[in-house]
Amino acid sequence: MKLHNNTIRGVHTALAAIFEEGQYADKVIERTLKSNPKWGARDRSFIAETTYEMVRWWRLINYLSPSNNPYDLFGTYWLMQGHSLPPWEEFEKIQPEKLKGKYEKLEDPALIESIPDWLEELGQKELGEKWEAEIHSLNQEADVVLRVNTLKTTRERLRNMLAESNISTHIIKGYKDALILDERQNVFRHPAFKEGLFEVQDGSSQLVAESLAVEPGMRVIDACAGAGGKSLHLAALMENKGKILSMDVEEWKLQQTKLRARRDGVSIIERKVIEGSKTIKRLKESADRLLLDVPCSGLGVLKRNPDTKWKLSLESIEKVRQTQQEILQSYPSMLKSGGQMVYATCSILPSENQDQVQKFLNSEAGKDFELIEDQKVLSHESGFDGFYIARLLKK
């Protein structure tokens, strides 16, 4: 592959915004690409992919080549990917054989997997012997997975339509609405996306709405709806019949839900901003089904958000655990008796998952609930993101 100075500089600018200004990688890349409309499709995907991968391997790259020079860092990454470097004077200082030797001598698992030391310790403590395979899998690039919008099309029809534009996909047993792209590409510009025939949603994430056992006509609350990924899936499973109340503490996220619902042909979603405990109390025993897709560390989605590992800390994870338990202590009151609730996270840590559910069940607020089943979806076992999904019944 031929390297170009201007795209390497684009990557460097993006990395500086991520590491020096603490901005989110996805937003930085979006902005970098938008402000350079002359770059072609190949340059754009080079910049996006290289930035994400350099963020992922940042600690290892900096260990192998401690330097502030962007060409030293990029060149090291490029060699790590198995490419060779062109004879540019910018790369003169790099000695491939020396780097190779340094890499081969590595024994520290945190350096090898390019994660902070505290995360290696936490992973070992919480996942034991499964941690090594899990973090290895979370360091691989994610597949692009589509969720077919069954309100507008079928999986076969969408698959054929994409094939006509040379986008080949495959299906996997156990994920009934999913299509996986054979080759990574930007599908947001495809007419089928603009017509609302699919959403981009990881396979594990698609298991969440599925597990809530919704039926057309039900009254469902999605209490941490965000931009509405799961609400839209619930609406499709309910055949757009009944009512979904999509709630969140962030109004701007719910605004996105509104736009996406319009595109997807969903009319049963109402939105409500959570302004405090009063909002929850007013909805007492009003829902047949309740989804708690709670805020979490995001350690299950490192494949697609590699910058998370540099932004998190033990303190921030503890804070999010507290929010999770606060939500569990109060929101289930919105469920009718005989109703079912799903507690879900995109984390692989038991302390955010089964331990939280157990703590709830042992508390006064959980005394009327029982656990029906739970799924601990690990990335190295499923191939998709890491998730936790627990289904509970209110007696």
Ligand X SMILES: C[S@@+](CC[C@H](N)C(=O)[O-])C[C@H]1O[C@@H](n2cnc3c(N)ncnc32)[C@H](O)[C@@H]1O
Interface residues with ligand X (CB under 6 A)?
Answer: 223-230, 248-250, 253, 274, 293, 295, 323, 327
293 is in an annotated binding site: yes
Q: Which is nearer to ligand X, 186 or 323 (CB)?
A: 323
Report in angstroms how near the CB of residue 277 gets to ligand X at its nearest: 10
Residue whose token pair is 């986008």: 167
| Cα Rg of the chain (Å, integer) | 23
Task: Return contacts of 131-138, CB within 8 angstroms, 24+ apart.
Answer: 133/380, 134/348, 134/378, 134/379, 134/380, 134/386, 136/380, 137/303, 137/378, 137/379, 137/380, 137/383, 138/299, 138/300, 138/302, 138/303, 138/348, 138/379, 138/386
Residue 127's contacts (CB-CB under 8 Å, 6 or more residues apart) are 134, 348, 349, 350
Q: Which is nearer to ligand X, 250 or 368 (CB)?
A: 250
Told to judge if 224 belongs to the known catalytic residues of this protein, a careful annotator would answer no
Residues β-bridged to residue 179 = 146
Q: How many CA atoms lie within 13 A of 108 on its CB side?
A: 15
Report in angstroms how near the CB of residue 125 gets to ligand X at its nearest: 24
Alpha-carbon span 386 to 225, nearest angstrom: 19
Q: In the sheet where 387-394 sits, what is the strand order?
A: 269-273, 243-248, 219-222, 287-293, 335-345, 387-394, 369-377
Q: Catalytic residue among 320, 346, 348, 378, which?
A: 346
Report in angstroms how near the CB of residue 320 gets to ligand X at its nearest: 9
**Dihedrals phi, psi of 257, to nearest 5 degrees:** -60, -40
Q: Which is nearer to ligand X, 122 or 244 (CB)?
A: 244
**Dihedrals phi, psi of 200, to nearest 5 degrees:** -90, 120
Q: Which is nearer to ligand X, 141 or 275 (CB)?
A: 275
Tell whether the torsion through CA atoms of 272, 278, 280 and 286 is positive or negative.
negative
Report in angstroms how near the CB of residue 244 gets to ligand X at its nearest: 12
117 is in an annotated binding site: no
Of the candidates 260, 252, 251, 253, the residue with the CA atom closest to the CA atom of residue 233? 260
DSSP structure string for 90-110:
GGTT--HHHHHHHHHT---HH
Of the candidates 152, 63, 144, the residue with the CA atom closest to the CA atom of residue 99? 63
How far is the first Cα of the chain from the last one, in angstroms, to the nearest whole number? 61
Q: Which is nearer to ligand X, 146 or 162 (CB)?
A: 146
Report in angstroms how near the CB of residue 292 gets to ligand X at its nearest: 8
> Which H, E and C letters describe 272-319, residue by residue?
EECCCHHHHHCCCCCEEEEEEECCCCCHHHCCCCCCHHHHCCHHHHHH
Report in angstroms how near the CB of residue 228 gets to ligand X at its nearest: 6
Report in angstroms how near the CB of residue 338 gets to ligand X at its nearest: 24
Residue whose token pair is 């409309």: 37
Q: Which is nearer to ligand X, 242 or 298 (CB)?
A: 298
- 8 Å CB contact between 284 and 331: no
Q: Which is nearer to ligand X, 334 or 392 (CB)?
A: 334
Alpha-carbon span 3 to 11, nearest angstrom: 12
Q: Give catalytic residues, as residue numbers.
A: 346
> Binding site: residue ranges?
248, 293
> Binding site for S-adenosyl-L-methionine: residue ranges?
248, 293
